[in-house]
Amino acid sequence: MGRAIFTIVALFPPLVITIAFLAVPAIRAFFLSFTDANALGIGGVDFIGLENYRYMFSDQVFIKAFVNTLVLLVAVPVVTIAVSLVLAEILNRSGLKEAAFYRTVFFFPSIISLTVVAIVWSFIFHPTLGLVNTMLDALHLSALKHSWLGDASTALASVGFTLVWQAAGYYMVMLLAAISSISRDYYEAATIDGASAIRQFFCITLPEISGIIIITLILSMSGTLNLSFTLTTIMTNGGPNNASLVLLKYIYNQGMTNGNFGYAMAMTVFTLGFTIILSIVVQKVQRRAEG
């Protein structure tokens, strides 16, 4: 009895905090999504039913932002984990004395402020002074020079590349730890049987760390959804012509810039529902892979 009371008392403060800062705002956002709430409070707050949701699915800007978000959610995690896996395998097999140094170098971008990362890569992609176009000039490939962030065909890809660069080292460390834990006996036996390094990678390494790969994919998807807001805001501001606009940025624009709180909350509820469904799907895939 005493232990039960202690447990209740110990859990009460975090429960109150969770309700106050998560549950209450979520309920309020859900309620506001059915209203015409605005920043100025003009005309009060009127219940308009599903009007915000009807408008949302006919709003071409919202659809564009959702598609851009989906592209990043699929492409960035896959490319990031693929790059991380290759780097981890190379470092694991290299046997270099400087392996710890390279681990630090690859990991370093993940601890830099995302704002700094966005500003630095904005300069790197600059059409006249940027490192990318300068290198193309030096390699006599001036025909490939581009306004990477100012062109609708490359803006989203440039943001995605920056996300991969920022996160690859972080997941490389996780995957390297998983690879290092695999028994060397497997590789020695495979080598005796004449298996090449590539065959060992696909037949031993990948199956042994499949669970960790799925976990890193989940983490990368979550990170991409959150970090894409900061990068697109600083690097492109969602442009040009909404080419790099993502859901969180559009929600911010509608709620904080335009003051359309009701519509912004409707998009927030949609994003929350989409995230929950995505999490359930990924968890089912993870269980199937592990089982």
Tokens of 103: 């681990």
> pLDDT (tens digit, 9 = 90+) per residue, 28-49?
888 888 888 886 665 567 888 8
The pLDDT > 70 percentage for the chain reads 96
Q: What contacts 250, CB < 8 A, 6 or more positions away?
A: 61, 62, 65, 238, 267
Stated pTM of the model: 0.86
The listed CATH number (2.130.10.30, 3.40.640.10, 1.10.3720.10, 3.40.50.2300) that belongs to domain 60-290: 1.10.3720.10
| Residue 123, pLDDT above cutoff 70 | yes
The pLDDT-based confidence of 218 (bands split at 50, 70, 90) is confident
Q: What is the pLDDT of residue 257?
A: 86
Higher pLDDT, 288 or 161: 161
Highest mean pLDDT among 18-27, 145-154, 158-167: 158-167
Report the pLDDT value the prediction gives residue 33, as an integer from 0 to 100.
84
Instruction: Please check whether residue 175 is in contact with residue 82, taking contact to mean a CB–CB distance below 8 angstroms.
Output: no
pLDDT above 70: residue 110: yes
Question: Looking at per-residue confidence, does 36 or 122 come out higher?
Answer: 122
Mean pLDDT of the chain: 87
pLDDT(67) > 80: yes
Higher pLDDT residue, 4 or 109? Answer: 109
In this prediction, residue 289 carries a pLDDT of: 66
- B/e letters for 156-172, b = 16+ CB within 10 Å, e = fewer, are bbbbbbbbbbbbbbbbb
d(CA 25, CA 272): 13
**Dihedral sign computed on CA atoms, order 111, 117, 120, 125:** positive
Residue keyed to tokens 């001036």: 142
pLDDT at 41: 61
Segment 68-97 shows an average pLDDT of 90
pLDDT above 60 (res 149): yes
